[in-house]
Amino acid sequence: MSRPATKKGSFNLIAVGKILVPVEGSMPSRRTVNFAVDLASAMGPELTFIHVVQMRDMPVLIAEAENEILEEEGQRILGAAVRAASARGVAAKAVLRKGHVVDQILRFARIYKPDLIVMGSRGMSKVKGILLGSVSQDISRHAKCSVLIVR
């Protein structure tokens, strides 16, 4: 089956029923939330925000205390994203996961089956991106759906 021809500069929109938005609380992440809410408002899909608490290897008592603080911070970040959506008439869900950020986002995406993942770019230079790795690069490489990177 072939795609219909399009004029130069035009494109076909994909049907979007579910959008997944990883959030981490930074200014670029807040811009991504606003972009995703605008998109959901215009297109009407289901919107879900996900935040992953990165688990660290350290002594158990210190790790438990730090993880509790990070979970509370994650809930705050998710709450702010859901409130931003609600303020503009868009219903949204929030999901908190623990573990390796990329693995948890991809694992949830396999279950949730979004049509689109909308996420921010950290704006790293190419050299830093190669040296440090990038969540957005890894997600865009391995996700089973389209990924839109907001700059």
- What is the residue extent of each domain of the chain? 18-150
What single-letter amino acid sits at 135?
Answer: V
Structure tokens at 63: 């790790």
**Once rounded to an integer, what is the mean pLDDT over residues 54-78?**
78
Tell me the backbone φ, ψ of residue 44, rounded to 5 degrees: 80, 15
Structure confidence at residue 60 (pLDDT): 55
Quote the distance between the C-alpha of residue 149 and its chain's center. 9
pLDDT digits (tens, 9 = 90+) for 78-88: 999 999 999 99
The CA-to-CA distance between both ends of the chain, in Å, stands at 34
The CATH architecture assigned to 18-150 reads 3-Layer(aba) Sandwich (3.40)
Let me know how many helices (H) and strands (E) the chain has, helices first. 5, 5
Structure confidence at residue 12 (pLDDT): 53
pLDDT at 38 over 60: yes
